[in-house]
Amino acid sequence: MPLTAAKISALVFMIRRGKPSQRRRLRRHMTADCKIEGHSMTEQAFITQQFQMMHERLENIQRDGSERGRRLWEKLGEQDRMLAMLDDRTRRMEQVVSGHQAQMDEIDKMRVAARGAGQAGRFMLVIGGSLLSFIAWVYTISDHLLEWLRWLIRK
């Protein structure tokens, strides 16, 4: 039975997945098959060498893939931690801002009260000034009235 592509791929899979003792047994089995089929040792050594090269390449690919996967997993973990930190910082900032909202409302009330007090003060200033002016006018007129009354009385 010659080595077919299916048999070679099955052997490669078994060599790749097997334990070291299984790999040695498979290589011995391949050697026995090759001798039975009439292949020379150089052909057998070439095939074995090709299997070993493919096995090393597959191990390198597997090692590189697992290393790449590990690095990606670490990056995802780091991003997850950073996202959790940002979420926490945002939550704390929202709490601080909501705490300041009550103070801002109080400041707005004080501003409205001050504006009202300013308007009341202006109104009282106008009333007081008008009252003072009226009193001064009455005093002035009363002084003139008294003078006229005296003049009338003398006559």
27 pLDDT tier (thresholds 50, 70, 90):
low
**Angle CA(125)–CA(130)–CA(132) in degrees, nearest 5?**
95
Contacts of 3 (CB under 8 A, 6+ apart): 33, 34, 37, 47
Interval 51-66: pLDDT, tens: 888 888 888 888 888 8
Interval 113-125: pLDDT, tens: 888 888 888 889 9
